[in-house]
Structure 1
Amino acid sequence: MLLPTTLILLASLVQAATLTLKNSRFNITSKDATELRAEPLSVTEKLSSPLKLDRTDILRLTFQVVEKDNGNNVQPHQAFLRFYDETTDEEGIQPVRVSNTGKGKFELNMAKPPTSLPPTGSAPLRVSLLIGSFVHSPLKVELFDLHVPASHPPAQHTEEASYHPLPPLGHTFRPEQKLPPRIISASFTGLALAPWLVPLVLWGKVAPSTPRLFSPHILPFVTTLALFEGLLFWYWIDLRLGQVLLYGGILALPTVFAGKHALASIGERRLGLARK
């Protein structure tokens, strides 16, 4: 029973161990490697004066992770730098590689800023170091405030205008069609039917010398002609052109046969009258 109890106590002591930083400092250099500023960093207090970087400056950060109690070097499982903008609530997380000796190094080159850096304006970024370990308590260190050049506005996408809200569509309906007076409608109806007067007049003049209209040889042909007239009237009030062509093509076959039969019967009748 002594061995398991000892292991549990050792595990609890390791779990309770805390981390800290040693030899943490930063330096800022210009494009020509001129050192502009260099100071050590504290674990307990954030740097009082904020840092400022121009578009060609380079910020370098170095530190070493150790156990607070005995100063042993620790390689954490995760280490991140957090850049946070309080005004826009935007943040960026940049991983930091830490060696097995606990030494970590980070470089921020403003000529080529990382994509993890959040969009920036006039407000400074709060920079903090986050360290996590499976066998130690996590560590968060507020490092400093950082002023960086404002971000350029993103380039407008070629199809951005297609996703903007459009004004609502409005449609004005035309007023209902007004019907003409009945006298005018009746007059134009009579005008449309007037051409029928011509065949009726002609029929009255030639009827005595021709077969009767209701003869079984003539009636089918006259019926098919009447159906054609009815088809045209139906097209006028309801049908489409394709339907008229279809029905007219079907009706044309009996019309042709009925017309041939009617002409043949008229020819035979006239031939019989000529022989007499």
Structure 2
Amino acid sequence: MVGPLSWLLASLAVLAVQASVLTLQSPRLTVSSSDAAQLRSEPLSLAHKVTPPVELRATDTLKLTFQIVDEDGKGVQPHQTFVRFYDEVTGEEGIQPVKVTAGGKAKLELNMARPPSSLPPSGKDPIKVSLYLGSFKHDPAQYELFDLFVPPSQPPAQHADEVFFHPRPEIFHTFRPEQKVPPKFVSAVFTLLLAAPWVVLLGLLAHIGPQVPYLFSSGIFPFIATLGAFEGLLVWYWVDLHLGQVLLYGAILSIPTAIAGKRALAAVGERRLGKSSPK
């Protein structure tokens, strides 16, 4: 059975482990150009920031190397290790995770030819670079590393469909002008032309006189009625119908008109034969 003293000692030991602080060993930054020439290489001090600030060109590469150790100088792999880029003026920030080996060795490489998406947009002011360490067994640690100037940010490439999401010009509908009506005199002339056949028909009816009732016989009148229907169809076309409708209705009306016309011719022939036969 564990006594109270043993439990207290164990608790103090746990607290001592949890209170241990992680530190960086041999931190160093290196700036190289595209041809692998070193432009700057110096150790980092955890007591104060690097001066002057680090400046990168569009083709430069920044390498940050260090080892994470505990109070005994033993390499430790924290549960979380990341670098924070922060612009104090705009408030933009970005987080870049750092891979750490089991022995605590870590390296971060920042290639400006292909900058990571975590890097905030650059401005006239420097970006603050900080290192954060998080562990379940050690106290969290934060180290202010250096100030960083990066090349001006380029505008993002325009998407092919981006133009469809911007305000478009207002659409104005152009309506067809009103249909022009011919002068009344022209309309009257063509109306008389359309009515001319009926005027001639009435004149002929007046000429034949006593034979008018024969036109209303069962053999002749249907043909006259279908002819009148054709005249009414033309008037309807003038007022409301379209050409396609007139052709359709005319084709349908032509069937009874042909039948009635054939019957009318037969009736007229029978009448003539009746008159010419000897009594």
TM-score bracket relative to the smaller structure: 0.7 to 0.9
- Alignment counterpart, residue 27 of structure 2, candidates 11, 24, 29: 24
Q: Deviations over 1:124-169 (max 9, x none)?
A: 2222223333444443333222112223333444444333312323
1:61 to 60, 64, 84: 64
Q: Distance in 2 between matches of 1:245 and 1:176?
A: 26
Query: Quick check: 120-129 or 9-18, which moved more?
Result: 9-18
Deviates more, 1:203-212 or 1:94-103: 203-212
Runs (5+) with no aligned partner, structure 1: none
Q: Which amino acid aligns with 2:220?
A: I
| TM-score where L is the length of structure 2 | 0.77
Give the number of equivalent residue pairs: 274
What secondary structure, in the 3-state scheme, does the structure 2 residue paired with 1:25 have?
strand
Spell out, residue by residue over 1:102-135, the C-alpha distance to the aligned partner (whole angstroms, 9 max, x if none).
1101122334433443443433222222333344
Identical aligned residues as a percent: 56
The letter for the 2-side match of 1:259 is G
Q: In structure 2, do the counterparts of structure 1 residues 70 and 202 end up closer, same or farther at CA, with 3 Å as the change threshold? A: farther
Select which of 217, 235, 238 maps to 2:237. 235
Alignment of 1:192-207 (within 5 A): 193-195=194-196, 196-206=198-208
Cα shift readout 1:1-24 (whole Å, capped 9, x = no counterpart):
749x68877666655544332322
> Which residue type is aligned with residue 56 of structure 2?
L
AA partner of residue 148 (structure 1)? V
Look up the equivalent residue of 1:29 and give its one-letter code. S
- Give the equivalent residue in structure 1 for 2:39: 36
In structure 2, the residue matched to 1:274 is 276
* 1:247 match: 249
Alignment check: 8 A CA contact 2:223 2:261 kept: yes
**What is the TM-score of this pair, normalised by structure 1?**
0.78
Aligned to 1:113: 115
**How far apart in 2 are the matches of 1:228 and 1:117?**
85
Gaps of 5+ in 2: none
Cα distance in 2 for partners of 1:116, 1:82 equals 9
Once the two structures are overlaid, the 10-residue window that deviates more, 5-14 or 140-149, is 5-14
State the distance in 1 between where 2:81 and 2:134 align.
6
Query: 2:215 maps to what in 1?
Result: 213
Write the deviation string for residues 160-200 of structure 1: whole angstroms up to 9, x where unpaired: 4333312323457789889899x769846854654332333
